[in-house]
Structure 1
Amino acid sequence: MSRPTRAVIDLQALRHNYQLAQSLAPESKTIPMVKANAYGHGAVKVSQSLEDIAPAFGVACIEEALELRDAGIKQPILLLEGAFEASELKVAATKGFWVMVENHQQKEAIINADLPAPLTVWLGVDTGMHRLGFQPEDVAEVYRSLNSSRNIRQPIVFTSHFACADDLDSEATSTQIDTFKACAPVTALQSLANSAAILAWPKARREWQRPGYMLYGNSPFAVAQENADLLKPVMSFESAVISLRTIAAGESVGYTANWTAQRDSTIATITVGYGDGYPRNAPNSTPVLINGIRCPLVGRVSMDMITVDVTELTEVAIGDKAVLWGPDLPVNEVASYCDTIGYELLTRMPGRVMRVYL
């Protein structure tokens, strides 16, 4: 029998979340973000599951796009960070990749390239996040330059990205929307809404929307939100009990002996660790579901194992199911114990964790 650590991926939940995004902006086109191995869920399988309803896909770089093409995905694929080298532009033109243009070097590379076919480009605007994109005062001239190039396929899509859309009380998102409106042509195709904006900022919905985190069934908000509450978690990170022991009060568990039993305790060892993407900095008391019941993590997370206090369980045995996060234990909650975010826990899950698709 193989090691029981696995990520179970519910593809019906994935499609539900995509359709929720589409229903919130029915006049828009919804492009799933499948970068970073589809947030740890498996980019090829996720894209194949959505290819009959998604008009395009979004990735970070050309390597991720080529993986999808090699797997038979035929839709356009948007390179969210654009081309890193001029040589990538010919590949993009040949393979039907869309290219983000966010700085003058990328713009000039496209205009001066010898391409076999024109490119569809997305023109990035820095509306306040100050990470990527042209400054608003430069957008008109950049647009004119691109618009007159034989290497550009019309229409050009104007886009930007929000810094604080997950904060429902912040004024930053409204400010960014206003900045974008002031420099993007009214008649141009536009894309603003990420997951948080799709769910909670109707004024950000445009011709194209870009769901990422919500696609995988997790809320980008720290508080309840009516649309986010309809999401269905896609991943259940599971393992099993591989050993049980009783220790006396005063004995410690794991590396550095950072947890000491205050009573005689039953300790379950679970075959999962930081080598599987479970956070090493998870503190004592982080919840783990054993047979559906919350039990506290005790002792340091090691590379391949964790230990859990199951003293309160009336029944527990080797082979019993353990859930690290999933529909009944949100990844956001686990992340909050670890002073991080669910995005990180999902995307850093390594390849050795088997993905099982339902």
Structure 2
Amino acid sequence: MPRPLVARIDLAAIRHNYRYAKQLAPASRAVAVIKANAYGHGAVAVARTLAAEADAFGVACAEEAMELRESGIDNPILLMEGVFEPAELALAERHRLTPVVHSPEQLLWLLQARPGRPLSCWLKMDTGMHRVGLAPRAFQEAYRCLRACPHVADIVLMSHLARADELAHPGTTDQLAVFDAHVRDMDSPQSLANSAAIMGWTAARRQWLRPGIMLYGATPLPADHPASAPLRRGMCLESALIAIRELDAGAAVGYGGRFVCSTPTRVGVVSIGYADGYPRHARDGTPVAVKGRRTRIIGRVSMDMLTVDLTPVPDARVGDPVQLWGDRVDPNEVAAASDTIAYQLFAGLSRRVRLIHQDADADADAS
């Protein structure tokens, strides 16, 4: 019998969320961002479910792109970190990959390349995040060079917004102003909006969108924001109780004895730990659901197991299901209790977690 730990992936929900992103900006095209194994949801399965309607897919590197190409995905693919050496441009040409150009070195490699056909690219400006991207004046000069280069085809102008999830912060407005001031005379499509900007900043919705975390049903905005409500959860992480202990008041639970029972307590042991990607630093009180009823983690998460308080579930038995996040437990709640974000929860799942892909829409069509 296999270990009971599984992540159930709702492909119909992911498809719904992609369509929702495009509904927010009907005139725009959208890159479905499926880097990091589709944020832990299975890149090939997600790409296949979106292939009929995705305008493009976004990955971090050529290795992720080749996994898609080898599985038969034919959609345009954006290399969001660009190429890491000049030789990768030949791979990009051969497999129709579109690199981002975000550094002087990448610009030079592209200008000096001798491809057999023109290559498209996305040119990235640093408007204030100060991670990657060309400074605005260098960006303008790079654009002129690329437009004059005979082996460069289409160019999309892009930047990345550092604080789009903070709707009251002026940083996004400032970044948009910097971008707009330096692309005023450039006749090329633009891309600024990540998930938070798609949902919360109308002014950032340009010709290309880049939905990422919203594809998987986790909102980058407050849960009570109106734009969060239509999202549908893409993953349900489940395991089961593998042991139950009856502990006296004063008994300590787990490594370091972090949690001490204040009353006689029924404790459940769940088959999941930090080696599976569950955050080791989840605090006492982090929510879980046992048999559909919410309760809490007690004690420190260990490599393969964690412990939960069964007081709210007095009828719990070994083998009963435990949801770590999904429809009963918002992943953002788990993230907040672990001093992290839902992105890391999803992308951090290890290969020990079996992915089970389900598509209710396809099942309905087949019936």
User: TM tier, shorter chain?
Assistant: over 0.9
Aligned to 2:169: 170
The residue identity in structure 2 corresponding to 1:204 is: A
Alignment of 1:1-358 (within 5 A): 1-153=1-153, 155-184=154-183, 185=185, 187-222=187-222, 224-358=224-358
Displacement after TM superposition at 1:222 (Å): 3.5
Asked whether the 8 Å contact 2:293–2:312 carries over to 1, the reply is no
CA distance in 2 between partners of 1:174 and 1:312 (Å) = 47
User: Deviation digits for residues 71-130 of structure 1, max 9, x if unmatched?
Assistant: 110011100111101010000011000010111111110111122222110010111111
2:126 aligned partner, one-letter code: D
* Alignment correspondent of 2:365: none
Aligned-residue identity in percent: 45
Could you give the per-residue CA deviations for residues 244-269 of structure 1, whole angstroms, max 9, x where no partner exists?
12111111111111111111111111
2:84 is paired with a residue whose SS is coil
Q: In the aligned structure 1, how far is the partner of 2:139 from the partner of 2:87? A: 25
TM-score by length of structure 2 reads: 0.95
Partner-residue secondary structure (3-state), 1:316: coil
Is the partner of 1:243 in helix, strand or coil?
A: strand
Q: Hey, what's the Cα distance between the residues in 2 that align with 1:116 and 1:354? A: 42
- Structure 1 Cα separation of the partners of residues 309 and 328 of structure 2: 19
Q: What secondary structure sits across from 1:15 in the alignment?
A: helix
Which shows bigger deviation, 3-12 or 248-257? 248-257
Report the CA distance between 1:329 and its aligned residue: 0.9
Shift of 1:223: 5.1
SS of match in other structure, 2:115: coil
Match of 2:362 in 1: none
SS of residue paired to 1:3: coil
- Partner SS, residue 230 of structure 1: coil
In structure 2, what residue type is equivalent to 1:333? E
Q: Is the contact between residue 294 and residue 312 of structure 2 (CA under 8 Å) also seen in structure 1?
A: no
Question: Counterpart amino acid of 2:164?
Answer: A
Which amino acid in the other structure matches residue 174 of structure 1? T
Corresponding letter in the other structure for 2:273? G
Cα distance in structure 2, aligned partners of 1:103 and 1:13 = 36
Whether the aligned pair in 1 keeps the contact of 2:236 and 2:327 (CA below 8 Å) is yes
Corresponding pairs, count = 357
RMSD: 1.0
Counterpart secondary structure, 2:32: coil
8 Å CA contact retained: 2:222, 2:228: no
Q: Which moved more, 1:242-251 or 1:177-186?
A: 177-186
Q: 1:82, 1:100 within 8 Å by CA — same for their partners in 2? A: yes
For residue 171 of structure 1, what is the amino acid of its counterpart?
Answer: P
Segments of 4+ moved more than 3 angstroms: none
CA distance in 2, matches of 1:282, 1:8: 22
**How far apart, CA to CA, are the structure 2 residues paired with 1:343 and 1:223?**
15
* Cα distance in 2 between the residues matched to 1:260 and 1:227: 41
Structure 1, unmatched stretches of 5+, are: none
Contact 2:6 2:239 in 1 (8 A): yes
Following superposition, the deviation at residue 55 of structure 1 comes to 1.5
Contact preservation (8 Å) 1:57, 1:76? yes
